[in-house]
């Protein structure tokens, strides 16, 4: 049973929950295509790049490769996607700039205003698989008002490994029950809940485009379900 009276920190999954990675990555790819004069479907490219996200982290989780930050996983995956799409005219500098497109993701329209409201009453921070540099640069780019950046790199474990959640609470000097994870992904919320976190589901039905079929509704028994960050702030008394 939830106990919102205990809540002191509200933490957030970032990719897809706070920011619209698909539209942002597609825009960056298509802009580069115009500059370099090649044809590409930016959304297909973004989807292909994202499809390699979980498999690359699974190799780290399973110990098949040593701890590797997400920026480096993204670059390895990017090289594979570039080859798949037959794009071979990019310089090393252009590849690196494209890889850092994940540092320049746009927030969903309600995100910044909702975070600002929540920040008035709670510690707000990330609990993301993104590495610290990526998340900090994204915060600057999109004006995301985090109090703290937590998650995978701090814990040296990728979600949904429990260490990612538990280490974040520990660093804040809080019990897991005093923390909440906000996410648009049921699996993430279920993992956080198993660690004792309170949980809030906020749907992002267009994260994967107009034909998305997953994570449209809360399938995990969350403490809070809100339509967006503004409603979440209202529910939490902000």
Q: What is the pLDDT of residues 77-103, one digit of tens each?
A: 999 999 999 999 899 999 999 999 999
- Residue 220: pLDDT band with limits 50, 70, 90: confident
| CATH code that applies to domain 21-103 | 1.10.150.240
Kindly tell me the sign of the dihedral angle through the C-alpha atoms of 89, 76, 17, 154: negative
How much is the pLDDT for 3? Answer: 84
- The 10s digit of each residue's pLDDT in 184-209 is 999 999 999 999 999 999 999 999 99
In this predicted structure, the answer to whether residue 1 has a pLDDT above a threshold of 80 is no
12 DSSP β-pair partners: 126, 182
- Is the distance from CB of 25 to CB of 48 less than 8 angstroms? no
Query: Which token pair is 32?
Result: 């580069």
Mean of per-residue pLDDT scores for the chain: 96
Q: Does the structural domain 4-20+105-235 have CATH classification 3.40.50.1000?
A: yes
- The 10s digit of each residue's pLDDT in 119-161 is 999 999 999 999 999 999 999 999 999 999 999 999 999 999 9
149 DSSP β-pair partners: 126
The residues spanned by each domain of the chain are 4-20+105-235, 21-103
- CA 83 to chain centroid, in Å, comes to 26
> Residue with structure tokens 């252009």?
94
For residue 107, with 0-12 CB atoms within 10 Å meaning exposed, 13-18 middle and 19 or more buried, which class applies?
buried
Query: Helices in the chain by DSSP H: which ranges?
Result: 21-36, 42-51, 53-61, 70-84, 92-99, 111-119, 132-142, 152-155, 162-171, 186-194, 229-235
Largest CA distance in the chain: 56
């Amino acid at each position: 049973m939830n106990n919102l009276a205990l809540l002191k920190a509200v933490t957030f999954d970032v990719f897809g929950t706070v920011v619209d990675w698909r539209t942002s990555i597609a825009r960056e790819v298509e802009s580069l295509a115009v500059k370099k004069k090649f044809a590409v479907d930016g959304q297909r490219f973004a989807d292909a790049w994202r499809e390699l996200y979980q498999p690359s982290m699974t190799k780290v989780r399973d110990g098949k490769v040593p701890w590797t930050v997400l920026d480096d996983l993204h670059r390895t995956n990017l090289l594979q996607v570039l080859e798949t799409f037959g794009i071979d005219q990019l310089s090393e500098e252009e590849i690196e700039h494209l890889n850092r497109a994940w540092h320049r993701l746009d927030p969903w329209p309600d995100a910044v205003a909702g975070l600002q409201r929540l920040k008035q009453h709670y510690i707000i921070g990330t609990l993301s698989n993104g590495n610290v540099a990526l998340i900090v640069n994204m915060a600057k780019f999109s004006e995301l008002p985090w109090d703290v950046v937590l998650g995978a790199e701090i814990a040296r474990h990728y979600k949904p490994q429990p260490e990612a959640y538990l280490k974040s609470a520990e660093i804040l000097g809080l019990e897991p029950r005093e923390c909440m994870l906000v996410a648009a992904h049921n699996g993430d919320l279920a993992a956080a809940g198993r660690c004792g976190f309170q949980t809030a589901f906020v749907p992002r039905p267009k994260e994967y485009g107009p034909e998305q079929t997953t994570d449209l509704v809360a399938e995990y028994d969350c403490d809070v379900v809100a339509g967006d960050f503004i409603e979440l702030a209202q529910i939490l008394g902000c």
